[in-house]
Amino acid sequence: MPQNIDLNEINKFAKMAQEWWDPNGTCKPLHIINPLRVQYIQLQCGDLTDKHVLDVGCGGGILSESLAKLGAHVTGLDMAQESLNVAQHHAKQNGLTINYLKSSIEDYANTIDQRFDIITCMELLEHVPEPQSIITACAKLLKPNGQLLMSTINRNHKAKILLIYGAEYIARLIPKGTHDFNRFIRPSELMQYIENANLQTNDIIGMEYQLLRNRFILSNKVDVNYIITASKLN
């Protein structure tokens, strides 16, 4: 088993596999945030037609399917076979061809020569022991001028109150124990990981939840959820 894997985290998401595509279930926040993620990817990467995209930590395929519908050739990686089974079944039902694989990004980067135009890594970094390892492996798989898009959670008191106490314990939007505050990542730390992987940070923006409208919007505030784009120059 690769070192950069937390079996408790994998099992946690495997148990909720059958709820990936229930917009009112435990994955409801992902369904709410997904349109904004797709919008941001398009803003940063332009037309996705025939682009080769790798979705790291794809889960049940919510983002992978959205990108495939935009014409991308999508490969999805995840370590929870239960989630991949759901993703494969749902894609087949919708007539989509997506290459779903059970693999860590580190193992995948060491076993193939393929390079990708775009790599997405959404809501994964805060669930692994070593985020640097993920980003370094992604960098290996990017084409020159390829783009890596990552979303995660800032480590501060506001994020702890809103996402752990608020979302998990009070509103119960997500299961208790979904997040570990100590694994949240400050933007400065993530940008250092990017630099260590010989990538360049191009953009960083917040994703702010509007309670009354039940939606996320792009925001200059990066104090809770945020998304960042990096690129490979050569």
Write out the binding residues.
37, 57, 78, 122
Coil vs helix vs strand at 187:
helix
Q: Which strands sit side by side in the sheet containing 200-210, from one edge to the other?
A: 99-102, 73-78, 52-56, 116-122, 142-153, 225-231, 200-210, 215-219
| 230 DSSP β-pair partners | 148, 201
Query: Which residues are known binding-site members for S-adenosyl-L-methionine?
Result: 37, 57, 78, 122
Using CA atoms, how far apart are residues 70 and 156, in angstroms rounded to an integer?
A: 35
DSSP-derived secondary structure for 136-183: HHHHHHEEEEEEEEEEEE--SHHHIIIIIIIIIIIS-SS-TTS--GGG
Residues 142-159 as b/e (b if ≥16 CB within 10 A, e otherwise) read beeebbbbbbbbbbeeeb
**Interacting residues of 154 by C-beta distance below 8 A, sequence separation 6+:** 184, 185, 186, 187, 222, 223, 224, 225, 226
Tell me the residue length of the chain.
Answer: 234
